[in-house]
Structure 1
Amino acid sequence: MTVATSRPAGLDNRIVLGGVARTWRELPAPELPVPAAVLAATSADALTAARHHATHGAELLLSTLGRVDAAMREELGEAGFAVTVLTDGVPETVPPVRPRAAEAGRLWLLTSGSTGRPKRVGHTLDSLTTVRGAQPERTWLCPYAPGTYAWWQVVTLSLTQPGQHLVVVDPDELDDWPAVAAAHGVDAASGTPTFWRRTLHRDAAALARVPLRQLTLGGEPVDQAVLDQLRELFPTARISWIYASSEVGASIVVHDGRAGFPVDWLDRETPGRPTISVVDEELVITSPYHGAGLDGPVRTGDRVQIVDDRVLITGRLDSDEINVGGSKVSAGLVRGVLTAHPQVAWARVTGRRAPVLGKMVVAEVVPTPAADPATPPLDEAALVRWCADRLPEYAVPRRIRMLTEIPVKETLKSDV
């Protein structure tokens, strides 16, 4: 069963996939079961499923093959989904173990699983569409894994707004995305801080050739260093960072070029907009863009610290705090000190078991390529001294391992 919906306003927007341009309405139109958990083999297959939902309103869960293991497939079948692998527009379907009636208009997202096994969060196309006003014409880069909240944010913008075109890159194109983007006139791009750091590290000159007017960061803590590096490369562009999740939607949007958000945004109640609070150093959000059953205050699991006039999101509660001999250390704040070093492209900070202290602070770092061959290479001792000048003694990393590449997962995150 499908339910007719109003025709999406963006069906004539361009989509560039694998260097080939087409419109939304020119995508293949396979018959999909209802309700379906579609596991897309490619971005083209994912966009096909999204267009199918937008035009028919059929209940859909969309993900990639890599994010759904055998146990999750079994769980989805038990929950009444026909598990459908979509490859080049051809569906292969395993019927549901426990068939049920479809819920018209329902979209399901899988959380990232950063706090354990991925969970299903219910949405609709309307609740995922947070940009509603008229927009200047843009060609957006979409590098995200299909089915994630960030992917849906870019996709709903293109589906619902005329003049919002897409250039989609699959994982095997990520290393060369600036060349693809420049060739197809991309002037707006959204990615995680890891995505931007990795691009800056690999080829900043190629990135500078992309005529970007809008840069957006989200999905991970955003520090001042990456914002400053992007501002230096794109002095006239608008640079934004967004706090968003499957549970509470896009809830914080900052355009002022500074990490964190203003303290006076806390507990501010405005009709139709999220209310942001802090309870026991945890970010709590009441959002009109929430998932099904998540109305009211939602504890996000993200740790925040107030520094001067800003509220900084430093990381997950279960991983950000390191207890060093009874003193609390924020891994996120130490990471920020490391990435502020002009020769550091990326850093990860964790705790390691240590005698007497219980834990000690350790780090992994990716140095930036030296612009001047005469510049001495970055070493562990220099970084320890840098941290010692800026952090309490107990927060200084005791071991720093140098890496050559910035690690990245399918979600464009690096588990920092």
Structure 2
Amino acid sequence: MPESLSEDRRPPARFNAARYCLAENARLRPDKTALILVGDGTEDSLSFGTVERSVRAIAAGLLGLGLKPGDRVMIRMGNEADYVLVYFGALAAGLVALPSSPLLTEDEAAFLLENSGAAAVVVGGGCTVAPEALDGRLLLDAAAIAALKAGPKLPDYADTAADDPAMLIYTSGTTSRPKGVLHAHRAAYGRRPMLDHWLGLTEADVMLHAGTMNWTYTLGVGLSDPWSVGATAVLYNGPRDPAVWPRLIAQYRATLFAAVPTLYRQILKYGDLSAHDLSSLRHGCTAGEPLPVELLDAWTQATGKPLYEALGMSEISTYISSGPTVPVRPGSPGKPQLGRRVAILPREGEPVPLASGETGLLAVHRSEPALMLGYWNRPEEEAEVMRGDWFTGGDLARLDDDGYLWFAGRNNDLMKAMGYRVSPNEVEVVLSAHPSVAEVGVAELPVRADVSVICGFVVLQPDAEPDAAALLAWCADRLAAYKRPREIRFLDALPRTANGKVQRKRLAAAVAG
């Protein structure tokens, strides 16, 4: 088993994640650029001194509005500077930040508000909240946040314990509704092993991240990690054109670039790499979905730069990776980062770690500081993922004799889309509500050797006409973009077990048959 977590990797008992990312930077390098937010012909640059003052002013303002430590603050904004400031402001005040995607429909956003019991919601341009969903909650828009930033700042960061709640992230679960993953302040400290062993991150770096701010990948790798060492973060809020990324790397002399494999593929296809000076780039980082070997080869051949993969999830951040200290082994996401307690457990029976070469459930020990506190009001799902002292996320894998991880599939039906986990149940509920649909199953459909999309497999009502476009439009009105099926296939019957349960793993084969 990889090295056990040593005491010096544990955070102090009193620990605030916002203080950890900002206080020393404001003291030591107040004029250094902390964040560059690039738009379509626009640029917003904030120093560490400015960020810290705004964060502490927002923290004071939120508490001044009557919010109490532990209250949830939902953030419903696009890639705007205020998203970052409100997120860290909530942490600085001892509140719980609830980042959400601007792609959510009003109904999806209303579910998060109700389920989390959020006391306030902050909205940005183009994002709305249904009036009936507010139900007495504070609603803060850009003007309200501007007023808070102009007010007095909190005298000091909240004196939170390392185990106090800090962030609530919603992700797909085994039911038809997303579940909240509750993280403590210590999660920011628990990211430290990846700084050396995946990112190779130092104060001198410029981190360009391609993700949106609601994503833990962006909030972590794109913001918290660079700020924890005093590096500069660059984010983008312009049109999603893959060709823009080589230009941004060259323009801002980015030393690190982080994205999902799908975007690296799009850059190779649509971005003119030879037209831009990429000499500043030390390596690329990728996570969110498996990195195909041919894409790894294509990127390194086209750029001459390494591409380091990491494996993570909302519950634990990244914990397995290749990187400056772990040579790339094509087809494997790498090794457990130094200090992580990772094991392969039997699928059934006692949670005793298996020997190298044996396949089982990939697991992380509960002593890991980056591990979630738990699922928000979902004890039954917590019970499903905990095996004794081990958290299991559903991946089947093995560790070879050199410590590299090799995937062997999933132990559940959760899908991966655009780097997000998506529950087939959630998509099935939406599709089944369409009047033409009698039965539906949702699963991933391979469209190329290394690319799959979410597909709805539909049995129609008697006399209904097959109209895939209408069903896709129905989903577009009711699901965030990353949850929507990209394909619809019509079947005479769904493959089922003897007990009548839909066999999602056989759906694609049923079409081929």
TM band (smaller chain): 0.5 to 0.7
Query: RCO (CA 8 Å, sep 6+): is it higher in 1 or 2?
Result: 2
State how 1:116-195 maps to structure 2 within 5 Å.
117-129=177-189, 130-131=191-192, 135-154=202-221, 155-162=223-230, 164-170=231-237, 172-175=239-242, 176-195=244-263
| Deviation at residue 122 of structure 1 after TM alignment | 1.1
Aligned residue identity for 2:284: L
State how 1:373-384 maps to structure 2 within 5 Å.
none
Could you tell me the TM-score, scaled by structure 1's length?
Answer: 0.65
Aligned residue identity for 2:179: K
Matched with 2:166 is: 106
Choose the corresponding residue for 1:61, options 89, 98, 115: 98
Higher strand share: 1
Distance change (3 Å), C-alpha of 1:161 and 1:48: same
Matched with 1:81 is: 118
Matched with 1:274 is: 341
* Structure 2 residues without counterparts, runs of 5 or longer: 1-15, 27-31, 139-159, 348-358, 375-381, 416-443, 458-479, 488-513
Aligned residue identity for 2:253: G
State how 1:1-400 maps to structure 2 within 5 Å.
5=19, 7-11=22-26, 12-17=32-37, 18=39, 19-27=43-51, 29-30=57-58, 31-32=61-62, 33=67, 34-67=71-104, 69-87=106-124, 105-111=165-171, 117-129=177-189, 130-131=191-192, 135-154=202-221, 155-162=223-230, 164-170=231-237, 172-175=239-242, 176-205=244-273, 209-210=277-278, 211-235=280-304, 237-255=305-323, 256-261=327-332, 272-277=339-344, 279-280=346-347, 283-287=361-365, 288=368, 289-293=370-374, 296-304=389-397, 311-313=405-407, 316=410, 317-318=412-413, 338=449, 347-348=451-452
Distance in 2 separating the partners of 1:262 and 1:178: 24
| Deviation at residue 79 of structure 1 after TM alignment | 3.4
Aligned residue identity for 1:9: E
Aligned length: 331
| Deviation at residue 5 of structure 1 after TM alignment | 4.8
Distance in 2 separating the partners of 1:352 and 1:78: 27
| Deviation at residue 298 of structure 1 after TM alignment | 2.2
SS in 1 for 2:267: helix
Aligned residue identity for 1:253: S
Distance in 2 separating the partners of 1:314 and 1:351: 22
Q: For the Cα contact (< 8 Å) 2:316–2:372, is it kept in 1?
A: yes
Aligned residue identity for 1:15: L
Q: C-alpha offsets along residues 199-221 of structure 1, whole Å, 9 cap, x if unaligned?
A: 11112525863331021111101
Matched with 2:509 is: none
Higher helix share: 2
Q: C-alpha offsets along residues 233-273 of structure 1, whole Å, 9 cap, x if unaligned?
A: 333x443111011112211012322234499x69x9x8x41
| Deviation at residue 285 of structure 1 after TM alignment | 1.6
Distance in 2 separating the partners of 1:45 and 1:174: 23
Please provide the CA RMSD for this pair. 4.4
| Deviation at residue 335 of structure 1 after TM alignment | 8.1
Matched with 1:327 is: none
Aligned residue identity for 1:144: G
Could you tell me the TM-score, scaled by structure 2's length?
Answer: 0.54
| Deviation at residue 197 of structure 1 after TM alignment | 0.8
Q: C-alpha offsets along residues 28-76 of structure 1, whole Å, 9 cap, x if unaligned?
A: 5543454311112333232122231343332211122223642442453
Q: For the Cα contact (< 8 Å) 1:140–1:167, is it kept in 2?
A: yes
Aligned residue identity for 1:348: S
Q: For the Cα contact (< 8 Å) 1:123–1:292, is it kept in 2?
A: yes
* Structure 1 residues without counterparts, runs of 5 or longer: 321-330, 340-346, 354-407
Q: For the Cα contact (< 8 Å) 2:344–2:397, is it kept in 1?
A: no
Aligned residue identity for 1:222: L
SS in 1 for 2:258: strand
Aligned residue identity for 2:35: I
Q: C-alpha offsets along residues 134-183 of structure 1, whole Å, 9 cap, x if unaligned?
A: 72511111221222221122211133221x11110126244322212321
SS in 1 for 2:406: strand
| Deviation at residue 86 of structure 1 after TM alignment | 2.6
SS in 1 for 2:224: helix
